[in-house]
């Protein structure tokens, strides 16, 4: 199975770049399943229902989120209406929406996708992500109820991300970190066969501070005083993500490599998909 994960869409420039490029990527690379993190798609803060639906219409099979999931008030209302919209699974019981789901890939495979949020340097501090993952894996084990299992681990600390990868190694197909908006260079397959990358990066303008117009963040670092609102940068976007090939027999990863398309960062497409 060919899986593509795209990192956090940031603002209009990030989401429109994904919408424009994703249909062609699905066709040209013969992708079976696509996950996109959309938590910063609405001006850099949260996601609206229209943006979610447009992302699904562009070809995403699931849209994940993170700590900004409720930044747009309407998300509380629409979260429960769409199975393909995921918020972190370790929110307390009774939180609107869902944190995981079983979906069907284009090749007919059953794909479990789970969105979990870390706790180190993160706000709000949610329930234990490791225990939440254990509950999810116990309910839908790899190669029993699911042919592939994907975790979007939304977290700040790479140490927590790496430990989470080792925690589910051999029980999940792929763990990818989101939240920091900077792509990491550690795409690998862990000892037990789980593909891992600490952060997929963002889909947004890299002439920025994490996708936001750089002037206000720079001012706050220097003066410690806000001058205005944070605004999403509006320059040309680079799409960042990661591609994984998953064995149809074992459900574990066989290949992993980053995907980056656009200005500023060096473009790369996984060699095994060329």
Q: Quick check: helix, strand or coil at residue 165?
A: helix
Active site residue 82: no
Hey, what are 190's tokens?
A: 């862990």
Residue 216 falls inside a structural domain: no
Residue 61 falls inside a structural domain: yes
HSE value, Cβ hemisphere, 13 Å, CA-based, for 145: 11
Q: Which domain holds residue 26?
A: 1-207+236-271
| Distance between CA atoms of residues 102 and 168, nearest Å | 18
Residue 223 falls inside a structural domain: no
Query: Considering all CA atoms of the chain, what is the largest pairwise distance in Å, rounded to the nearest integer?
Result: 57
* Number of independent structural domains in the chain: 1
Residue 93 falls inside a structural domain: yes
- Residues making up the binding site for Fe cation: 8, 39-40, 67, 154, 179, 181
Q: What is the pLDDT of residue 152?
A: 99
- pTM of this structure: 0.98
Phi, then psi, of 151 in degrees rounded to 5: -115, 125
75 membership: H or E segment, kind and range: helix 74-78
Domain containing residue 34: CATH number: 3.60.21.10
Q: What is the pLDDT of residue 274?
A: 83
Residue 212 falls inside a structural domain: no
Interhelix angle 49-57/11-28, rounded to 10 degrees, is 20
Residue 218 falls inside a structural domain: no
| Catalytic residue (one of 68, 82, 123, 166) | 68
pLDDT averaged over 10-residue windows placed end to end, the chain, 274 residues: 98 98 98 98 98 98 98 97 98 97 98 98 96 98 98 98 98 98 98 98 98 97 96 98 98 98 96 90
- Residues making up the binding site: 8, 39-40, 67, 154, 179, 181
Residue 71 falls inside a structural domain: yes
Residue 53 falls inside a structural domain: yes
Hey, what are 254's tokens?
A: 């066989």
Neighbours of 253 (CB within 10 A): 24
Q: What is the pLDDT of residue 200?
A: 98
Cis bond before residue 251 (omega within 30° of 0): no
263 contacts: CB under 8 Å, gap ≥ 6: 206, 236, 238
Neighbours of 34 (CB within 10 A): 26
């Amino acid at each position: 199975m060919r899986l593509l994960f795209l990192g956090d869409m940031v603002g209009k420039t990030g989401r429109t770049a994904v919408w424009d490029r994703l249909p062609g990527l699905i066709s040209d690379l013969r992708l079976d399943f696509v996950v996109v993190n959309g938590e910063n798609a609405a001006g850099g803060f949260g996601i609206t229902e229209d943006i979610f639906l447009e992302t699904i219409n562009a070809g995403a099979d699931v849209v994940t989120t993170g700590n900004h999931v409720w930044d747009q008030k309407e998300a509380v209302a629409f979260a429960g209406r769409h199975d393909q919209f995921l918020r972190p699974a370790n929110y307390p019981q009774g939180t609107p929406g869902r944190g995981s789901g079983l979906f069907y890939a284009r090749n007919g495979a059953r794909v479990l996708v789970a969105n979990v949020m870390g706790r180190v340097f993160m706000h709000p501090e949610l329930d234990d992500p490791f225990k939440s993952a254990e509950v999810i894996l116990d309910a839908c084990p790899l190669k029993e109820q699911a042919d592939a299992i994907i975790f979007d681990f939304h977290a700040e600390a790479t140490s927590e991300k790496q430990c989470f990868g080792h925690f589910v190694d051999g029980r999940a197909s792929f763990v990818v970190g989101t939240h920091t908006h900077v792509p990491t260079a550690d795409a690998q397959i862990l000892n037990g066969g789980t593909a891992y990358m600490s952060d997929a990066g963002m889909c947004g303008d890299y002439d920025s501070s994490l996708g936001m117009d750089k002037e206000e963040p720079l001012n706050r670092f220097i003066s410690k005083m806000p001058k205005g609102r944070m605004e999403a940068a509006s320059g040309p976007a680079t799409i960042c993500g990661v591609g994984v090939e998953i064995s149809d027999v074992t459900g574990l990863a066989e290949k992993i490599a980053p995907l980056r398309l656009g200005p500023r960062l060096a473009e790369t497409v996984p060699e095994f998909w060329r």
